[in-house]
Chain A
Amino acid sequence: MEQPVVQGLRALGWLALVALPGTAAAVLALAAFMLGLAGLHPLWRAESLNMSEAAEYRDAATVLELIRSGQDPDARHPVRRGPVFSKDAMVTPLEAAVAAGRAEVVEVWLSAHPNLDRRMWIEARCVARFGRTDDIRQTVDRHRPADVPADFDPERQCEGVERRW
Chain B
Amino acid sequence: MRWCRRNPWKAAAYAVTVAFAAAISYDLWHIPVQISDSLGEILDAQRSPSTLASFVNTFSGVAYFRPMRIAQIKAVFDLAHGHYHLAYRGFHIALLTSLLVLFTRALRVDTARDLVAAVFALTVLIGLHTFIAFVREAFPINHFLEIAVLCLGAVALAQSRGGWAVDLLAAVLFVVAALTLESGVLVWVVLAGAWLAGLRGVSGRAVIGVTALLAGYFVLRFGLLHTGLPGLTERSAGFLFERLEPDELERRFGAAPLMFYAYNVAASFGSVLFSEPRDGVLSATKAFLEGEVPPHIWLALLTSIPTTLIIAVWGVRRVWIGPSDGTDGGDSAWRLALIGALVLPANAAISYAYTKDEIVAVAGVFYAFAAFAAVRTLLGHAAAAPRAMATTVTAVLFALACGWAIRTVGVDHVLRWQAFRVRNDWTLVRQRMEAESRWPSEPERVALIRTIEASALATRVPNPNRLPEWNNRWFRD
**Contact, CB under 8 Å: A45 / B427:** no
Q: Knowing A61-B423, A61-B424 touch, does A26 contact B119 (C-beta < 8 A)?
A: yes
Closest to A57 in B: B465
Q: Does B302 contact A (CB under 8 A)?
A: no
CA distance A107 to B115 in the complex (A): 53
**Nearest Cβ in chain A — how far from B467, in angstroms?**
9
Interface residues of B in 13-52 (CB under 8 A from A): 15-16, 18-20, 22-24, 26-27, 30
Chain B residue numbers with a CB within 8 Å of A20 are 398, 401
**Contact, CB under 8 Å: A26 / B20:** yes
**Nearest Cβ in chain B — how far from A69, in angstroms?**
11
**What band does the interface of chain B fall in when counting residues whose beta carbon is under 8 Å from A?**
35 or more
Chain B residue numbers with a CB within 8 Å of A65 are 457
Taken residue by residue from 57 to 73, chain A's Cβ proximity to chain B (1 for < 8 Å, 0 otherwise) reads as: 11111111100000000
CA distance A29 to B412 in the complex (A): 9
**Contact, CB under 8 Å: B463 / A57:** yes
CA distance A77 to B203 in the complex (A): 70
**Contact, CB under 8 Å: A24 / B23:** no
Taken residue by residue from 33 to 71, chain A's Cβ proximity to chain B (1 for < 8 Å, 0 otherwise) reads as: 100100001011111010000100111111111000000
CA distance A47 to B416 in the complex (A): 14
Number of A-B contacts (CB under 8 A): 138
CA distance A29 to B20 in the complex (A): 6
Q: Knowing A21-B404, A44-B416 touch, does A107 contact B428 (C-beta < 8 A)?
A: yes
Chain B residue numbers with a CB within 8 Å of A138 are none
Q: Does B112 contact A (CB under 8 A)?
A: yes
Q: Which of A57, A61, A64, A108 has the most CB of B within 10 A?
A: A61
Taken residue by residue from 454 to 469, chain B's Cβ proximity to chain A (1 for < 8 Å, 0 otherwise) reads as: 0011001111011000
**Contact, CB under 8 Å: B428 / A59:** no
CA distance A15 to B402 in the complex (A): 14
**Contact, CB under 8 Å: B19 / A27:** yes
Q: Does B122 contact A (CB under 8 A)?
A: yes
Chain A residue numbers with a CB within 8 Å of B382 are 11, 14
Q: Does B390 contact A (CB under 8 A)?
A: yes
Chain B residue numbers with a CB within 8 Å of A14 are 379, 382-383, 390-391, 394
Across the interface, B428 reaches (CB within 8 A) one of A21, A24, A104, namely: A104
CA distance A149 to B375 in the complex (A): 72
**Contact, CB under 8 Å: B427 / A36:** no
**Contact, CB under 8 Å: B416 / A43:** yes
**Contact, CB under 8 Å: B424 / A17:** no
Taken residue by residue from 206 to 218, chain B's Cβ proximity to chain A (1 for < 8 Å, 0 otherwise) reads as: 0000000000000
Q: Does A89 contact B (CB under 8 A)?
A: no
CA distance A28 to B382 in the complex (A): 28
Chain B residue numbers with a CB within 8 Å of A26 are 15-16, 19-20, 119, 122
**Contact, CB under 8 Å: A30 / B22:** yes
Q: Knowing A41-B26, A60-B424, A61-B426 touch, does A22 contact B466 (C-beta < 8 A)?
A: no
CA distance A111 to B431 in the complex (A): 9
Chain A residue numbers with a CB within 8 Å of B120 are 18-19, 22
Chain B residue numbers with a CB within 8 Å of A45 are 462
Closest to B461 in A: A46
Across the interface, B19 reaches (CB within 8 A) one of A29, A62, A104, namely: A29
Q: Knowing A26-B16, A33-B23, A47-B462 touch, does A19 contact B412 (C-beta < 8 A)?
A: no
Q: Knowing A18-B379, A20-B398 touch, does A29 contact B23 (C-beta < 8 A)?
A: yes
Chain B residue numbers with a CB within 8 Å of A15 are 112-113, 116, 379
CA distance A62 to B22 in the complex (A): 27
Chain A residue numbers with a CB within 8 Å of B123 are 21-22, 25
Q: Knowing A60-B424, A65-B457 touch, does A22 contact B405 (C-beta < 8 A)?
A: yes
Chain A residue numbers with a CB within 8 Å of B405 are 21-22, 24-25
Q: List the interface of chain A (C-beta within 8 A of B).
A: 10-12, 14-30, 32-33, 36, 41, 43-47, 49, 54, 57-65, 104, 107-108, 111
Q: List the interface of chain B (C-beta within 8 A of A).
A: 15-16, 18-20, 22-24, 26-27, 30, 112-113, 115-116, 119-120, 122-123, 375, 379, 382-383, 387, 390-391, 394, 397-398, 401-402, 404-405, 408-409, 412, 416, 420, 423-424, 426-428, 431, 456-457, 460-463, 465-466
Give the top 7 A-B pairs by smallest Cβ distance, nearest first. Answer: A29-B23, A21-B405, A30-B19, A22-B119, A26-B19, A14-B394, A21-B401
Other than the given A11-B382, A20-B398, A61-B427, 20 more pairs (CB < 8 A) read: A10-B387, A11-B383, A18-B401, A19-B401, A20-B401, A21-B404, A22-B123, A22-B405, A23-B16, A28-B409, A29-B412, A33-B23, A43-B412, A57-B465, A61-B426, A61-B461, A65-B457, A104-B428, A108-B427, A108-B428
